[in-house]
Chains A and B, each alone.
Chain A
Amino acid sequence: MSFIPGIPVPIGGIEKALGKLWEESGESKTRASLINLAIYNEKPGSLERNTEITRSIAGEHAMRAILIEADLKAEGSSAEAWITMHCYLRGSKGGSVCSEQICFQLAGMAAHSLQSVVFSHLDSDLPLVLWWQADFHLPVNAKLWRWVDRLLFDSRHWKNPKEQFGLIRQIAGLAEARTVLCDLNWARSLPARQALAAIFDIPGNLSELQLLRRLEIDYAHGSRTTALLLLGWLADRLGWSLSNPSANPEFRDAHGNIVCVELKEAEGSSISRMKLASENAEFHLLRESGSDLYVTTAQGRNIAASSRMVCAPREETREILLAELSRGGRHPLYTKAVNAVEELWA
């Protein structure tokens, strides 16, 4: 491994080594932590990639970062650990604020024992946010998930969304489960949802919302699940039910009218264009390639033409992760959105 994720330490001596690290760093450094952020990955090289991410967010979201690279198929059992700090200058007094990081490389049996090997190094009393960067496996490990306050994952990377959403449901349904499900793909769709919602804050536009007959969504390569989540959200919010689960599906609205949907892959951001049309009006949402803005327009009979811009954060992992960590709270509509398009996940 060419990347060195910090100072190598024996797993039994992590806390002591962290204490020593602080002692040696002098008084100019302040330890800060709001959460335990554990990131789990099963691919080689993930420690380096994830260190880049934690380093980039530590300045805005203080934490104890715990990075785990697991090799489940390895024979035997091995566990190695490294510690480091991510420090940022803060304020005019020249002091810096630091977040601790512990990296684990686990193989074989040790990789199957996350609770004992890793979670004994949590900063007590702070919430545990676990970012699961691998597929979820059967059987669901109830003991593991009950530790987790917020479970982050990204459904965009799933090869088998139907199976994975099924496992997510099982995790969420565990007895005494308090885990908040946070799909980064859902967070990715937030700027588009915000921009769409804003269109219909205008009373004249709002009355058209229940009369929509056509919906078009352009999504980037690999972002079909993002588009489906958006579609599921709209379907749930507007009381549509899926009547024709095809590649370009059809829904029935609350009055039985057909709503046609066209999903199309296109260049650009994950969601680059949407069109919502009723018989009287059209509403557009557009994000030019490379732009940090969504532009929405409304036009039609009996409504005032309007146009608006809304900032859309860059779709980098760092931005999406920070947005999700800052937002907090539960996502009650997420599960409904997933369920509304359940037959389309295959």
Chain B
Amino acid sequence: MPSPLVNPLREGITNRLTPEPCTLVIFGATGDLTHRKLIPALYNLAAEGALPPALTIIGFARREKTSEQFRKELEESTRKFSRTPLNDELWAQFASSIIYHQSPFDQGEGYTTLATQMDAADQNRGTGSNRLYYLAVAPDQFPVILSHLRESGLSTTTPGSWARVIVEKPFGKDLKSAQHLNTLVSEVFPECDTYRIDHYLGKETAQNIMVMRFANSIFESLWDSNHISHVQITAVEPLGVEGRAGYYDTSGAMRDMIQNHLLQLLTLTAMEPPTSLSADAIRDEKVKVLRSLRPLRGDDVFKHVVRAQYTAGLIDGQPVPGYREAEGVPKDSTTETFVALQVNIDNWRWAGVPFFIRTAKRMPKGGTEIAITFKSVPPVLFNSSGEGLDENVLVIRIQPDEGISLRMSAKMPGSSLRIEPVKMDFHYGTSFGKATPEAYERLLLDAMSGDATLFARRDEVEEAWAFVDGIEEAWKTRCDDLAFHTAGSWGPAQAADLAARHGVTWRRM
């Protein structure tokens, strides 16, 4: 006989934790993120029946508008951005759970009325006093929102209920600010109820890194310095700053991409097998990788890191302006739009294996991938000619065209012995034709279910900042190392030199 506290009808229906009834409050509800990502993701979840029953969504923002207007705007944007077509009947039902709450973030009264609305939802819709707060606002708004949530009692819970907060990146701009931010959050929400979102972790292919490594026996046995020559992690795009100049110029590629997304991919690639699949077991191993990163400070930074900025050039045959010519960017900006760095992980598994990380804007094409290059075979037999055989390369493509490929050597047909590289290629889109869920769908559902596996823990964020801070500090001491490259090129010569010092060339994407 099943326990009366557990819904016995749930068993066998899904193999994931069931999200619990709750009220989701989105701060910054009129912003781009809400319209492009959050509401379309929630709608798709609703269509699949994956949302908890009685979910109430309250959009909290400063602009004057009615709930009706808000829902109408959301309908338009969801129609545009949803991965599945909008079903009018279903939308009407879903939208009935959305309420707009107009208030400045810094006025206590707005939170008092928010509490009243949430209590009403508990009474009328059975949301069980569970609260999920989504801070879809700039980080400078975090303190005021968090302090009001605490002062108004909205972060405290009654027995059997929970209050969680989802924090969007950037989590600070350096270690100090990240620690400050984390302290602010932790004064209001315990770490176990804090969900720091990094949407890269919600991508299917990022999740598949662990599956590939630990659900296949052939890879993990080769996954170390005995067999791997080097690793390249790349995330590049042809886009420029596109309206984000204000944020981007104070951030740069290092803070915008490497501190979070690319170091997260690095940890998934380099981590040891976790003791279990629990959130903390996995995050424990990821943190160990960050702690094992050899710090880059002072002169080492200029030996191991290349920063650059794009100048005017051509993308897809069309002229594009240089970074300093973009609207909102100072003419003398030294913000990097390209970073290439070589890092070492000083642990037993990875000693001596260089990891190359590269991110850039205005590249000839876009894509994110992890390329693991294996060591060459010994210089005997087929590799004795001195020309050298191509190494085996395992590529995990995160986006686009998600998939995995393996390069290996094969004999060309014919009477003479000629060996050429061939590629075994697995494409998600080819084998699994159906559209994969958006990262935000998975992440929102996980937060409602209390599964923090795909969210960054405080120590992960801070360790990543500690590593990046060393580089940023060195950069402040001089700026003559800033290189320039033409938009539409693959980066400056210094980046090629950095790789060449290890006998490596950057991969063509």
Residues of chain A at the chain B interface (Cβ within 8 Å): 30, 32-34, 59-62, 88, 90-91, 97, 190-191, 193-207, 209-210, 234, 237-239, 254, 291-293, 303-304, 306-311, 322, 326, 329, 331-333
Residues of chain B at the chain A interface (Cβ within 8 Å): 1-2, 4-5, 7-13, 15, 18, 20-21, 46-49, 52-54, 87, 89-90, 93-94, 123-126, 128, 401, 427, 429-434
Contacting pair B89 A293 (CB below 8 A):
yes
Which residue of A59, A62, A201 is within 8 Å of B53 (Cβ)? A201
Contacting pair A200 B9 (CB below 8 A):
yes
The chain B residue with its CB closest to the CB of A195 is B49
Contacting pair B90 A309 (CB below 8 A):
yes
Contacting pair B53 A198 (CB below 8 A):
yes
Contacting pair A206 B7 (CB below 8 A):
yes
Q: A30-B427, A193-B9, A207-B4 are in contact. List 8 more A-B contacts (CB 8 A).
A: A34-B432, A60-B433, A198-B53, A202-B53, A203-B128, A206-B5, A237-B9, A310-B49
On chain B, the residues within 8 Å of A332 by CB distance are 12
Kindly list the 7 A-B residue pairs having the minimum CB-CB distance in the complex, ordered from nearest.
A60-B433, A310-B49, A197-B9, A304-B126, A333-B12, A309-B93, A237-B8
Q: How far is the CA of A307 from the CA of B93 in the complex (A)?
A: 9
On chain B, the residues within 8 Å of A97 by CB distance are 430, 433
Contacting pair A30 B49 (CB below 8 A):
no
Q: How far is the CA of A333 from the CA of B46 in the complex (A)?
A: 25
On chain A, the residues within 8 Å of B90 by CB distance are 293, 309, 311
On chain A, the residues within 8 Å of B427 by CB distance are 30, 32
On chain B, the residues within 8 Å of A207 by CB distance are 4
Contacting pair B11 A237 (CB below 8 A):
yes
The minimal Cβ–Cβ distance linking B14 to chain A, given in whole angstroms, is: 8
Q: With A200-B7, A238-B8 given, is the CB distance from A88 to B87 under 8 Å? A: no
Contacting pair B47 A311 (CB below 8 A):
yes
On chain A, the residues within 8 Å of B49 by CB distance are 191, 194-195, 198, 310-311
Contacting pair B7 A91 (CB below 8 A):
no
Q: How far is the CA of A238 from the CA of B6 in the complex (A)?
A: 12
Q: How far is the CA of A60 from the CA of B429 in the complex (A)?
A: 9
The minimal Cβ–Cβ distance linking A340 to chain B, given in whole angstroms, is: 13
Contacting pair A209 B126 (CB below 8 A):
no
On chain B, the residues within 8 Å of A210 by CB distance are 4
Q: How far is the CA of A203 from the CA of B128 in the complex (A)?
A: 8
Q: How far is the CA of A193 from the CA of B9 in the complex (A)?
A: 8
On chain B, the residues within 8 Å of A309 by CB distance are 46, 89-90, 93-94
On chain A, the residues within 8 Å of B430 by CB distance are 30, 32, 62, 90, 97
Contacting pair A60 B434 (CB below 8 A):
yes
The minimal Cβ–Cβ distance linking B97 to chain A, given in whole angstroms, is: 10
Q: How far is the CA of A204 from the CA of B7 in the complex (A)?
A: 11
Contacting pair B53 A88 (CB below 8 A):
no
Interface centre among A60, A61, A201, A326 (most CB of B within 10 A): A201
The minimal Cβ–Cβ distance linking B42 to chain A, given in whole angstroms, is: 14
Q: How far is the CA of A195 from the CA of B125 in the complex (A)?
A: 17
Q: How far is the CA of A331 from the CA of B13 in the complex (A)?
A: 9
Q: With A201-B53, A209-B8, A237-B8 given, is the CB distance from A311 to B87 under 8 Å? A: yes
On chain B, the residues within 8 Å of A201 by CB distance are 7, 10, 18, 20-21, 52-53
Q: How far is the CA of A209 from the CA of B1 in the complex (A)?
A: 13
Which residue of A60, A238, A311 is within 8 Å of B48 (Cβ)? A311
Q: With A62-B430, A201-B18, A292-B87 given, is the CB distance from A237 to B124 under 8 Å? A: no
The minimal Cβ–Cβ distance linking A70 to chain B, given in whole angstroms, is: 30
The chain B residue with its CB closest to the CB of A337 is B12
Q: How far is the CA of A310 from the CA of B434 in the complex (A)?
A: 20
Q: With A62-B430, A62-B431, A197-B9 given, is the CB distance from A91 to B401 under 8 Å? A: yes
The chain A residue with its CB closest to the CB of B425 is A30
Q: How far is the CA of A77 from the CA of B90 in the complex (A)?
A: 55
The minimal Cβ–Cβ distance linking A210 to chain B, given in whole angstroms, is: 6
Q: How far is the CA of A202 from the CA of B7 in the complex (A)?
A: 9
Q: How far is the CA of A332 from the CA of B125 in the complex (A)?
A: 33
Contacting pair A61 B13 (CB below 8 A):
no
On chain A, the residues within 8 Å of B8 by CB distance are 209, 237-238
The minimal Cβ–Cβ distance linking B11 to chain A, given in whole angstroms, is: 7
The minimal Cβ–Cβ distance linking B130 to chain A, given in whole angstroms, is: 10
Interface centre among A97, A194, A197, A311 (most CB of B within 10 A): A197
